[in-house]
Structure 1
């Protein structure tokens, strides 16, 4: 490869690398999401209500939903997502999941 071609390829490689570094977070695992759900529940005084089985069930339901990877990653960290659209969708999914998960235990 000539020096000229190599110099032309460097900016393209730099852009590709920077885009990869700024990509959206990966969808968390059931265990990660379940742990985050329990952290949030504990922080609002409901930790004793969310057993491992219920948290796992809710995590599976959320993972199967249209909730964004970024919002799920935030929940997995034990934090509540801040976007209005995410909160609206998560609230709906949690309502549906609570019906499913309350009867599955």
Structure 2
């Protein structure tokens, strides 16, 4: 499998809430997500870090999308009491790595 990514920041002076990841699941399966946390600055960056690592850990443990989202919702709701930092959108998917035919 070959992958590549390009990330273009909206502002070099202010950190945002965009995040993505590609990671191995069990066996020959891979998962990915692309997301965005509401806001900018340090507060958004903190939620972004929490969301990214929570999603990855939850998906490795149980890749069911409903379970992954429940885990993320629980963590973000508990860790960030301010309503303006509870909004996160993301898209996720996965697939199997197939060896080329010999």
Superposition TM-score, scaled by structure 2 size: 0.35
Structure with greater proportional strand content = 2
